[in-house]
Amino acid sequence: MEKAAPIELVCPAGNLPSLQAAVDNGADCVYIGLRDNTNARNFSGLNFDLAAARDGLHYAHRKGTKVLLAINTYPQPATWQRWTQAVDIAAEFGFDAIIVADPGLMRYAATAHPQLRLHLSVQGSATNYEAINFYRRHFNVRRAVLPRVLSVAQVEEVIRNTPVEIEVFGFGSLCVMVEGRCALSSYVTGESPNMTGVCSPAKAVRWEQKADGLEVRLNGILIDKYGAHENAAYPTLCKGRFTAGEDTYYAIEEPASLNALELLPELARIGVIAVKIEGRQRSPAYVAAVTRVWRQALDTCMRNTNGYAVQPHWAAELGRMSEGQNHTLGAYHRPWK
């Protein structure tokens, strides 16, 4: 029986009930954002004010769970102090790390709060070890979250050539872009997700019931139309249905969730430190269910890597939580290479 080194389970929380659900169901770390555009899930009604952030920290720390603060959008000159204040809050409150994308903000954090642990956000778009080592040399970044565009072999190559801890996504919504380089939403709405903190801002979304179905538009552009018995999803340009030639279909990306559960032994073998679950915009029920399955799977894999197998009830539960009720290995699995 071969045991593997522990892999941390990093889970999302868009509000205090979600944080409690993640902690209670076995998360090692929970990541949250403040209620402004310093984080990349800046939806109305989501995220934490200062009182809720304190409460969440106390709840998690009492149960031995770490809490990470996402400050992973790019500051603008006129509002620079909003981002530095978020860093100051993280240091004052005792967050276990901040997740940062902007090098200028990393410099501020490393200088003003050298004791504060820095994690490189996926929004930093670091897809090779030279980039990651650059952030380590200049800002003492301790962990990097890799974009969801690398194969397992490429992740292994990164790990082999950097002392920085590597965190990868294991479950949740996918994006066709390299994170941090999205142009589609800003093309349609005129607002960059990297600055405003949200793809498809709510103010640009319109739902219209027509005789032949429910139309959804983003800044006036038709993104999708749903029949009477179809589940309508929140509109993003990359996951809309478009007419290309004579066919109407998901021309850019089909709704599906990344699900790397079957890859856990391989991720453990190559030295992945942490697996991240996407979904700060999801419900507490989603967070609880996904955290519970991944906790069981990680514990099983760590006890006996060689004997590990995905259990049918794990797959069924994650299938119900998957976007479009479909899942994929994404870029991790490229059989043609």
DSSP 156-180: HHHHHT-SSEEEEEEEEE--SSPTT
Q: Provide the pLDDT for residue 126.
A: 93
Give how far the C-alpha of residue 66 lies from the chain's centroid of Cα atoms, to the nearest Å: 17
Distances in whole angstroms, Cα of residue 34 to Cα of each of 41, 43, 46, 101: 9, 11, 9, 16
Give the pLDDT confidence of 75-113 residue by residue, as tens digits: 999 999 999 999 999 999 999 999 999 999 999 999 999
Give the separation between CA 198 and CA 231, rounded to whole angstroms.
Answer: 22
**Residue among 230, 274, 273, 262 nearest 333 (CA):** 262
Tell me the percentage of the chain whose pLDDT exceeds 70: 94
* One-character DSSP codes across 205-245: EEEEEETTEEEEEETTEEEEEE-TTSPPPPP-GGGS-EEET
pLDDT (tens digit per residue) in 253-302: 766 788 999 999 999 999 999 999 999 999 999 999 999 999 999 999 99
* Encoded amino acid at 285, one letter: A
Give pLDDT tens digits for 12-70. 999 999 999 999 999 999 999 999 999 988 888 899 999 999 999 999 999 999 999 99
Q: Which of these, 16, 10, 12, 8, lies nearest to 286 by C-alpha position?
A: 12
CA–CA separation, 106 and 100 (whole Å): 7
Q: For residue range 209-223, what is the model confidence (pLDDT) as tens digits? A: 888 888 889 888 888
Is it true that domain 8-174+256-332 has CATH number 3.20.20.380? yes
Q: How far is CA 329 from CA 91, 196, 271, 335, in A?
A: 36, 29, 19, 11
Residue 4 — pLDDT band, cuts 50, 70, 90?
A: low
Query: For residues 211 and 118, which has the higher predicted lDDT (pLDDT)?
Result: 118
Give the C-alpha separation, 58 to 67, whole Å: 10
Q: How far apart are CA 211 and CA 87, in angstroms?
A: 50
Give the chain's mean pLDDT. Answer: 90
**pTM (predicted TM-score):** 0.88
Domain ranges for the chain, please list them: 8-174+256-332, 184-249
Block residue for tokens 């209620």: 35
CA–CA dist 33, 13 (Å, integer): 8
213-218/205-210 β-pairing? antiparallel
**Is 80 exceeded by the pLDDT of residue 133?**
yes
pLDDT of residue 155: 97
Cα–Cα distance for residue pair 79/196, rounded to 1 Å: 12
Per the model's pLDDT, the better-predicted residue between 3 and 235 turns out to be 235
Q: Nearest to residue 135, comparing CAs of 107, 170, 113, 115?
A: 107
Local structure of 286: helix, strand or coil: helix
Residue 254, beta-bridge partner list: none
Q: Per-residue pLDDT for 199 more than 90?
A: no
Instruction: Tell me how far CA of residue 103 lies from CA of 93, 140, 176, 181, in angstroms.
Output: 23, 11, 24, 15
Q: Identify the pLDDT of residue 221.
A: 84
What angle is formed at CA 129 by the lines to CA 279 and CA 263, rounded to 5 degrees?
50
Selection from 160, 104, 108, 110 nearest residue 132 by Cα:
160
Per DSSP, which regions of 111-164 are E strands?
A: 118-120, 143-145
